Structure 1
Amino acid sequence: MTPISNLGFQSEFVISQLEADILVKPEYTVLKTASNPSYYFGNLLALSVPISTHSKEEWLKIFTHEFKDMPKVEHLTFSWVRNNENELAIIESFTSAGFEFEEMHILALNKSAFKEPIKLNQTPVYRALTSQEDWEQWIQLSIADQQGDYSEEGLKTYLTRKAKNYNQLEKAQLGNYLGAFVNNQLIGYAGLYHKDALGRFQNVHVIPEYQNQKIASTLLTLLIQNAPSSLQSLVIVADEHYHATALYQSLGFSIVERECSLCWWPESHRKTAV
């Protein structure tokens, strides 16, 4: 496990543990995922000091220096845990330069405190994603679910590499991806992966036509029921405005951190690119 206290970052390393390298510096930790250079949150600086410690220009120089050996990393990503400092001015200096700012809820739960729903939705068939067709469906639904300004071609490349990593994690018995199927069509999915006693959920999603039917809570319940006994702490990362945060809290999860990020990517990665 990484030595920094940022739980969101620690759980991100759970997903990247087979392919990522970590370098700890006094003011930040460098996460590098050479096998997926367009993985914005797999190639980043996780700050252990307030972002106001340096100016935007200084942080950009630091990032460029740390990733000079990875020319295929064309983006810039910084993450940190929000504190009580006034960060508005430094954040605005980034967003005015084209960075996207996000604040995520880091929700955590001790597995023994999980509040299993009274009723599960047993209508779909719940099974692991195994075939190429399963993963192709997952890629298409993941692309459709994306809200950001990302090109479809770039997303498909990124997601194909992510699927390969998920399969490698499953082969190493470090977790799995569970899908909900109706007439062999994937309509919902979620993953749970672990390192030591820490587990991280990944991409909990149900397509709009099947939302609010307890499918997401059923996916989470089945994953937890089949998790190894050594797993103690469970983490979910969700956008602060994401409606499912209330669902997670109803299952016993609580918000333990607010993780901020700033990310910039070039025009060639955007859906508006010609």
Structure 2
Amino acid sequence: MSRSLAYFTDLALRRHEGSVITREGDLTVIRSPQNQGFWWGNFLLMPAAPQAGDLARWDALFARHHPGAKHRVFGVDTSGGEASDPAEFLAAGYQVLRDSVLTSERTWPPRRLSRDATFRPLASDADWAAALTLREAVNAADPGGHEPEGYRTFSLLKLASYRRAQEAGHGAMLGAFDATGAMLSGLGIFDAGEGVARYQSVETHPEARSRGLAGTLVHTAGDWAREHLGTRTLVIVADPEYHAQRLYESVGFAKTETQVGFQKRPAAD
């Protein structure tokens, strides 16, 4: 098991999606041939945070294991949020990511419980098409969103991997649907082993926010995982600077770790 609970669950989900994970000494190599545009499906998991002078070695390792990749992504398999000496990475254009890892044994209903949507796992082709529409709407409304055509391709591949994992019994994508079948909010929850389940891709349509949909869906998914996956520990990862962490805390989650990663976007992105 990884020292980081977040990366333990990340790797479990990548396996469900069809990624190839190999070890080379204390280095873990993650490859996702089914979606090579997924940066965090094609990365290196390092055993410790970088020290001064490590940039060239890390970059060379990435180029060797992911030849042709334009991005650079490294995870750090620790739980305390250590980034050691990131100065040269920052100077080279990397982002240092420090995300909150929150856990709960069970969730409770949000203060604003939504009753104006149907909350359930995705089932039909129409449901999965609605999930794509939701993802595209969220991306379009994001000031830092991705180029639409490329993001659509990425999302189609990502949703296909979630669907395969769901059909194999590893978890489910759940949505909040209105009376027309439009998906207003969505997320995934998947078994990571050892009684642990991990949430993925919590999103709400820009025109449906502040209605209690996401909180209700997170709670619904937690109950679903306990019933259908035998989950004892729920895990969700959030940007500490974004309001979502407060939402998760409001339904029973508490921060237990910090996940650290280094990410460099392709020059043309």
TM-score when normalising by structure 1? 0.85
Q: CA 1:229–1:62 in 2, change beyond 3 Å: closer, same or farther?
A: closer
**C-alpha displacement of 1:123:** 0.7
- Determine the structure 2 residue equivalent to 1:28: 27
How far apart, in 2, do the equivalents of 1:266 and 1:4 lie? 28
Per the alignment, residue 62 of structure 1 pairs with: 61
Tell whether 2:95 aligns with 1:96. no
For residues 47-94 of structure 1, the C-alpha deviation after alignment (integer angstroms, 9 at most, x for no partner) is 2212227521111001112224xx4x332101224757673xx42322
Q: Tell me which residue corresponds to 1:199.
A: 197
Superposition pairs of residues 106-121 of structure 1, within 5 angstroms: 106-111=101-106, 114-117=107-110, 120-121=113-114
Query: Of the candidates 155, 164, 169, which is equivalent to residue 168 of structure 1?
Result: 164
Check whether the contact 1:27–1:49 (CA below 8 A) recurs between aligned residues: no
Hey, what's the Cα distance between the residues in 1 that align with 2:188 and 2:149? 23
For the 8 Å contact 2:171–2:229, the answer to whether it is kept is no
Contact 2:81 2:98 in 1 (8 A): no
Give the aligned partner of residue 254 of structure 2. 254
> Where does residue 130 of structure 1 map in the other structure?
123
Cα 1:85/1:261, change in 2 over 3 Å = closer
What is the letter of the counterpart of residue 98 of structure 1? G
Query: How many residues matched?
Result: 260
What CA distance in whole angstroms lies between the structure 2 residues aligned with 1:260 and 1:86?
A: 7
Partner of 2:134 in structure 1?
A: 141
Gaps of 5+ in 1: none
Within the alignment, does 1:159 sit opposite 2:152 as a pair? no
212, 232, 243: which is aligned to 1:214?
A: 212
Q: Percent identity?
A: 25
Amino acid at match of 1:24: R
Q: Is the Cα contact below 8 Å between 1:14 and 1:200 reproduced in 2?
A: no
d(CA) in 1 for partners of 2:79, 2:53: 16
Distance 1:184 1:84, change over 3 A: closer
Is the 8 Å Cα contact of residues 130 and 181 (structure 2) preserved in structure 1?
no
2:210 aligned partner, one-letter code: N
Task: Provide closer, same or farther for how the CA distance between residues 254 and 53 of structure 1 changes in structure 2, counting only shifts above 3 A.
Answer: farther
Query: Which runs of 5 or more structure 2 residues have no equivalent in the other structure?
Result: none
Q: Which of 147, 164, 173 matches 1:177?
A: 173
Q: Is the 8 A contact 1:63 1:76 kept in 2?
A: yes
1:14-25 correspondence to structure 2 within 5 Å: 14-18=12-16, 19-25=18-24
TM-score by length of 2: 0.86
Shift of 1:119: 6.1
Q: Tell me, yes or no, if the aligned pair for 1:128 and 1:177 is still in contact at 8 Å.
A: yes
- Once residues 213 and 118 of structure 1 are traced to their aligned partners in structure 2, the CA distance between those partners, rounded to angstroms, is 11
Tell me if 1:10 matches 2:3. no
In the alignment, residue 22 of structure 2 is paired with which amino acid? L
> Which whole-Å CA distance do the structure 1 matches of 2:122 and 2:101 have between them?
26
Instruction: Give the drift of 1:28.
Output: 2.8
- Name the aligned partner's letter for residue 94 of structure 1: F
Distance 1:33 1:213, change over 3 A: same
